[in-house]
Structure 1
């Protein structure tokens, strides 16, 4: 069951999402002694990270990773890891722990085994929170319908328990690495945050269809094991 959380403004959605995140992290720390969260890249997360960074909680007990990243240098503005480090790991959150999806390998394909092993051992599973975005084509994380069928299947249905998969979508010149579908679903909570009317229309199409390879986000929306909130506002936060 998808819980649709609709807001009049981006600022209202940001405030509610920060509150939801902090409450879940605090509960995890209080009950299990640690918290784990996978976050998304994109435009909306930047103010989310900046606001979260000012919240006082025991960040030393919080482990952060990404649902996906581009295979670029860590000083590249396209890097989701750079986005997180520059905007979340500041202020009160400097002591949070980060688990990277990147290696020194020349391609994400070469890094799959290493990164899968790293995430298996360095994250607390199931993850307390997984935040995802969604593209107008129905992709989420870097599970793209425009990837080759073989690459998409490795992301959706990994044969050997891989936690990550390489992605080379035709809509992007930059290769990527992404959590696989089973890894994403190994979570206590999933939140998909989107803004704008076109993304709402995409969500409606995805919600009412069945072909997962046509719109990979359907794999998240159609499952019933993990609670999913769809967060939407017509605009991005102004703050």
Structure 2
């Protein structure tokens, strides 16, 4: 890892955790999240967690489900969701239900997709999450175009949605291919006491390096590259 990158992250107050393999990354990230949830429960009696979907988080989700926690006092939601029912293969809710299966039924779950319409579902999630704020832990991912959550370059309202003062906690968006999504906004994501970004592989690393010099409207992850973010990186592609 280049000293220049680490120095740039330190200047921004961003933490860096590098692990040698995808399995090690999953274990270390799960331990970090579990520790933060325990700390939140000890301080406030409950913990509020937002997780990302996709294929990469699967080993992490399985590792997290192995931790002994007061899962009944964990409130869980998604960072973003495709606007599809939970029985569809591309559903992030389905992903969490499958890979957190040992503990999922004990959690206090707040899904994003409700099946009404993207805008109405976003409003319903916004109302529900308003009673949660702030989040205790959020785990972000990052695409090769620099998007995070379902905050993509070129979206008409992206500037507003990236701001900590965004009007809504959840918004209806469109992915790069035009498919409808639901996403937490900067108002929810920036509120989290513990903010984690998990990436792997040389391509994602280069995207991260480039993001340090780019504007958030062109590379949305750039809006989150500041304290209290902690980046978990593995050189091998998960």
Under a length normalisation based on structure 1, what TM-score does the superposition of the two structures give? Answer: 0.88
In 1, Cα distance between equivalents of 2:191 and 2:164: 14
Aligned pairs for 1:30-69 (under 5 A) are: 30-69=42-81
SS in 2 for 1:193: strand
Give 2:221's aligned residue: 217
Unmatched 5+ stretches in structure 2: 1-12
Give 1:84's aligned residue: 96
Shift of 1:217: 0.7
Assess if the C-alpha contact under 8 Å between 1:155 and 1:178 holds in 2: no
Give 2:233's aligned residue: 232
Tell me: CA distance 1:18–1:105, structure 2 relative to 1, closer, same or farther (3 Å).
Answer: same
Shift of 1:172: 2.4
Match of 2:113 among 102, 106, 112: 102
Aligned pairs for 1:102-141 (under 5 A) are: 102-106=113-117, 108-121=118-131, 123=132, 125-141=133-149
SS in 2 for 1:84: helix
How many residues are aligned here?
A: 226
Assess if the C-alpha contact under 8 Å between 1:54 and 1:93 holds in 2: no
Shift of 1:208: 2.7
Give 2:4's aligned residue: none
Aligned pairs for 1:187-198 (under 5 A) are: 187-198=192-203
Assess if the C-alpha contact under 8 Å between 1:134 and 1:194 holds in 2: yes
In 1, Cα distance between equivalents of 2:42 and 2:213: 38
Tell me: CA distance 1:182–1:61, structure 2 relative to 1, closer, same or farther (3 Å).
Answer: same
Shift of 1:212: 1.1
In 2, Cα distance between equivalents of 1:202 and 1:73: 31
Moved over 6 A (4+): none
Unmatched 5+ stretches in structure 1: none
In 1, Cα distance between equivalents of 2:127 and 2:208: 33
Under a length normalisation based on structure 2, what TM-score does the superposition of the two structures give? Answer: 0.89
Assess if the C-alpha contact under 8 Å between 1:37 and 1:128 holds in 2: yes
Give 2:162's aligned residue: 156
User: Which moves more between the two structures, 31-40 or 94-103?
Assistant: 94-103
In 2, Cα distance between equivalents of 1:62 and 1:159: 25
RMSD of aligned residue pairs (Cα, Å): 1.8
